[in-house]
Structure 1
Amino acid sequence: MEYALVTGADRGLGLGFVRQLLLKGFTVFAGRYASDREGLSELKQQYGERLHMIELNVAVDDSVKEASRLVAIHTDKLDIVINNAAILGDIEASVVDELD
């Protein structure tokens, strides 16, 4: 079985990635920020246990840790990670600055 994680999976490109991965037979963990979107719910009805919807705000460390914990309940590996979520913030800051 192959596993994928898609962030920003509520709509647009993220939702499209989720749909295509499900069509290709993946089990997908869909990180969603807005829980009231219909697209993922429709896919959940169609694909059942192959789609796991996870509340995920990539700008909040605790949210990312909880998402990681939830994924680890089902698998110890991810074959594909699509980071489609955006973080609004200081344009002068960088990821490297955050890691230091």
Structure 2
Amino acid sequence: MAIKWVRDNIANFGGDPSKITLFGESAGAASIVAQMIAPDSQGLFKNVILQSGTLTNKWAMNSPARALEKSQDLVKRSKCEKDVVSFSL
């Protein structure tokens, strides 16, 4: 959604929507690799710069159950008053 916003609005800031470059470092680089293969992202950017992260790193991909477990642990450690992670897989 953010990349679409950039594409749709970059000209208002003097940019060229046909020359969008994404940059990511570590987890950001892994996220960009995911964008590169996502069908909905095709045509939204032209170039990428990846620094120190790939989608094949074991920390880059988690099962939905593992992601939920990590999120719930973060909520617990943050001492949140409510269970903010209440979606279902």
- Judge same fold: TM > 0.5, yes or no: no
More strand by share: 1
- More helix per residue: 1 or 2? 2
User: What's the TM-score, normalizing by structure 2?
Assistant: 0.25
TM-score (norm 1): 0.24
Q: Larger radius of gyration, structure 1 or 2?
A: 2
